[in-house]
Amino acid sequence: MNVAKLRKSLLSWFELNKRDLPFRKSKDPYKIWLSEIMLQQTTMAVVVPYFERFVRKFPTIAAVAKSKDDNLLNAWKGLGYYARIRNLKLACREVCEKYGGKLPKDFNKIRALKGVGDYTTAAIASICFNLPHAVIDGNVKRVLARLFHFRENTDTTRARGFFKEKAETLLDRKSPGDFNQALMELGATVCTKSPHCLICPLNQACASFGKDPENLPIKTKMRFRPVDYSSLILHNEDKILLKKPSSENLIKDMWELPSCYAGSVTHHIDSIQKRLPVALNKKKLQRMGSVKHSITDKRIKAHVFGYELRGRLSGRQLTKWTKGDLTFIAWEELQKIPLNTLARKALQKFSPWSKN
């Protein structure tokens, strides 16, 4: 393989074909950092509007460091994996305290920040500071496995060593940022699950060209755990009962509907009842269908129930329902609090919510 020729072909292709993405318009390390954090576990199409809104609201590292948790979680809601935003805030604080609000041009110092792994550090270091560190993400692994026809399981120590060695050997040390982005872009747009080999700038160098690239890379299949869940929409006039953020919530720091794990319909109702300080009249419970949601390896099916407390109840009457971390909040406030995705999906099943 002629490595110099491969680098040249890839960089020329990237120059002509790179997507017009908002975070490619600047080399601001904060924006690159934020985009890389958002792109972990989330697709580009979902990330772009979130990124633009987030940057308008929090334009600098200092703005994130100073912001209230609720405001950050609210801007992040819907993206999932909320540990990312909690870690980002902690890391932004550290950058303000130690480095005057600017990311340092030093791989090890960036790598030491909370929530910043090898991949994100290499992306920031190469794209923003032109430091020669190769990025290895899912797209890069796919391209490398095919380019070198690597037919082993990618989840082994040996495979990790293989990808590291190949990525570092191929890296263009004069333009590491562009080269890294080009390799990731090729994986995202050309060397995809069903690769477009005929238009690929690397097809002359690729050991899988004309063979079986769609069967590579070889991965261990992830096992998903089905989980049955039930959620209750208990409401009175303009208010709804919610569970305040606590470490026991499905996602820490997010508001949610009174919910619980359950095995069968009878269990659903009984389990929800255990969460409430007042007995429900089961005849008044309305089944509203179910929603699906995934969190890491859990495939959740949530059965949604509606329950109306009729007539305008006084504050005292409502407090009977608000033991522990349960509280009523106004429907209109729902837009302002960080509500978890499962609750938002469940509320779509509820017609008064749809009218709002």
Taking CB under 6 A as the rule, does residue 184 contact ligand SF4? no
Nearest to 305 by CA among 275, 261, 335, 265: 265
The residue range among 21-29, 159-167, 205-213, 245-253 that interacts with ligand SF4, by the rule CB under 6 A, is: 205-213
Figure out which of the listed residues 140, 182, 206, 346 binds ligand SF4, where binding follows CB under 6 A. Answer: 206
User: Is residue 55 near ligand SF4 by the rule CB under 6 A?
Assistant: no
Among 171, 202, 260, 288, binds ligand SF4 (CB under 6 A): 202
Tokens of 141: 């692994």
* Cα dist from 113 to 90, 108, 134, 135, whole Å: 8, 9, 19, 17
Site string for ligand SF4, 212-231 (x = CB under 6 A): -x------------------
* Residues 33 and 121: beta-carbon distance below 8 Å: no
Residue 203 interacting with ligand SF4 (CB under 6 A) = yes
Cβ nearer to ligand SF4, comparing 7 with 243: 7
CB of 129 to ligand SF4, least distance (A): 28
CA–CA separation, 151 vs 213, rounded Å? 10
Which residues are known to be catalytic?
36
Among 35, 74, 181, 208, binds ligand SF4 (CB under 6 A): 208
Q: How many residues does the chain have?
A: 356
The beta-carbon contacts of 14-21 under 8 Å, at least 24 apart in sequence, are 14/178, 14/181, 14/182, 14/185, 14/186, 17/185, 17/189, 18/181, 18/182, 18/185, 19/44, 19/185, 19/189, 21/48
Site for ligand SF4 in 141-160 (CB under 6 A): 143, 146-147
49, 57, 60: which is closest to 22 by C-alpha?
A: 49
- The stretch among 200-208, 255-263, 269-277, 333-341 that binds ligand SF4 (CB under 6 A) is 200-208
> For residues 149 and 344, which CB has a smaller minimum distance to ligand SF4 in the complex?
149
Residues 110, 112, 115, 117, CA torsion sign: positive
Q: Which stretch binds ligand SF4 (CB under 6 A): 25-33, 37-45, 192-200, 346-354?
A: 192-200
- Identified binder of ligand SF4 from the candidate list 61, 122, 200, 346, rule CB under 6 A: 200
- Per residue in 175-193, is it b (16+ CB within 10 Å) or e — as a string? bbbbbbbbbbbbbbebbee
CB 144 → ligand SF4: shortest distance, Å? Answer: 9
Contact between 209 and ligand SF4 by CB under 6 A: the answer reads yes
Between 209 and 350, CB nearer to ligand SF4: 209
